[in-house]
Amino acid sequence: MSAPQTSPHPDTQGKRERSGGVQSLERAFLLLETMADTGGEASLSQLAGSSGLPLPTIHRIIRTLVDNGYVRQLPSRRYALGPRLIGLGDKASQMLGTWARPHLAQLVEELGETANLAMLDGDKVVYVAQVPSPHSMRMFTEVGRRVLPHSAGVGKALLSQLDEGEALATVRRTGMPAATDRTITDPDEFMAELERIRSQGFAIDDGEQEIGVRCVAVPLVGAPSAMAVSISGPEARVGWDFVERAAPIVRRCAAMLADDLNNQNS
């Protein structure tokens, strides 16, 4: 006599359904991140090659994202990140600024100069949070400003976290125009600069982005996204003795902020 068939326990069935839902969500985020990594758009074959997912699965998820405005189909039949992501990104940046501000304020209190938080946005660097110096003469880089990474301290700190090939490909895509006469414009010299940054744990912008402004920047190692924190001010106040004193303080701030952001995500 065969054993009677039993229906799955309701709790077990619910777990299976939730597992399937979570898997679909993870795959959707994977495809969005793949598009972001390829400049904001990709073909189905590119998505398949990068994600390892079967084409029917990718097509089903992409259609759902298109229907909800998170992805759009281009006339070339490629797919690009959609407009609904803009609002999410703006709100995420605001929240990031809220979490970062106490750490930046502590930097300003200890060092007396302007503190910034920046992150990679495609191939450019965007400033997402700032606490200004109390001095009347100070940095006026505003939140939301985008700059090329090769000439900014935060940009160099961020690119130092990439492998050499990826960092080199980034500056080749953006070009390396001279913002000032101190800007590094030679790719080989820039790669050597990134190696120095990896070795010493911080980057210096010695008037390379703005004449007369010096900056110490440190990447947030282990943070959920590629970010860097910096302290900046006029060369008259930010001398080399200041840089030597500030570097370990900025490094400590970067480590604490990375831990804080990771705790927010846990």
Q: Each residue of 96-131: pLDDT tens digit?
A: 667 788 989 999 999 999 999 998 888 889 898 899
Domain boundaries, the chain: 10-82, 86-265
pTM over 0.85: no
* 3-state helix vs strand vs coil in the chain, percent to 5: 50, 15, 30
Beta bridge partners of 146: 126
Q: For 173, phi and psi rounded to 5 degrees?
A: -70, -40
**Starting at the edge strand that comes first in sequence, how are the strands of the sheet with 213-219 ordered?**
146-147, 124-131, 114-121, 227-234, 213-219, 203-206
CATH topology of domain 10-82: Arc Repressor Mutant, subunit A (1.10.10)
Q: What is the pLDDT of residues 195-223, one digit of tens each?
A: 999 999 999 999 999 999 999 999 999 88
Sheet holding 41-42, edge to edge: 41-42, 79-81, 71-73
> Which tens digit of pLDDT belongs to each residue from 49-77?
888 899 999 989 999 999 888 888 888 88
Name which of 12-16, 53-57, 245-249, 261-265 the model is least confident about: 12-16
Phi, psi angles (nearest 5°) of residue 181: -75, -5
What is the structure's pLDDT at 89?
62
Chain mean pLDDT for the chain: 85
H helix or E strand, kind and range, residue 135:
none
Best CA proximity match to 81, nearest among 47, 117, 118: 47
Could you tell me which residue, 91 or 6, shows the higher pLDDT? 91
Q: Which tokens hold the place of 25?
A: 């969500």
- CA dist 253 and 229 (Å) reads 8
* Closest C-alpha among 154, 190, 138, 144 to residue 169: 190
First-last CA distance in the chain: 51
Class of domain 86-265: alpha beta
